[in-house]
Amino acid sequence: MSWPPTSYSVAPHVGRGGWTWYTGSAGWLYRAGIEAILGLRLNGGSLVIDPCIPTAWPGFEMTLRYRGAVYDISIRNPDGVSRGVIAAQLDGEPQPISLGKARLALSVDNGAHTIIVTLGEVVAE
């Protein structure tokens, strides 16, 4: 038997991914992107928001489904910063910010919710 047992550069395997994509590593890469880059992390019944994005990104949007509730999340980056939450709203209500991060309590009410987060230069507390 030769090693590697299958070559992905010859027919019928041309263009297929290697073994790492059908083990658990794809899930870990996805999780790292969501938590470390987009900065969205579940912690108990809360959502911690602490993005670390390229300064060229004007922001991003995503939808989170959590125990029957749906959260439409919009991260805005008007000042072109890499990180630092300066404002957060949940359903139009301002939320507390601490150390450039937002922590929002999540509901299990089967409702639709809107989260708007603004990034900017964080002033020392």
Q: Which residue has the tokens 């404002």?
A: 87
Per-residue pLDDT of 8-21, as tens digits, reads 667 776 766 655 55
* pLDDT score at 30: 84
Taking only the tens place, the pLDDT of each residue in 83-123 is 999 999 999 999 999 999 999 999 989 999 999 999 999 88
pLDDT given at position 105? 94
Q: Which residues, including other chains, have CB under 8 Å from residue 34's CB and lie 6 or more apart?
A: 40, 41
Instruction: Give the separation between CA 61 and CA 58, rounded to whole angstroms.
Output: 10
- pLDDT per residue over 52-85, tens digit each? 999 999 999 999 999 999 999 999 999 999 999 9
Q: Classify domain 19-119 by CATH number.
A: 2.60.420.10
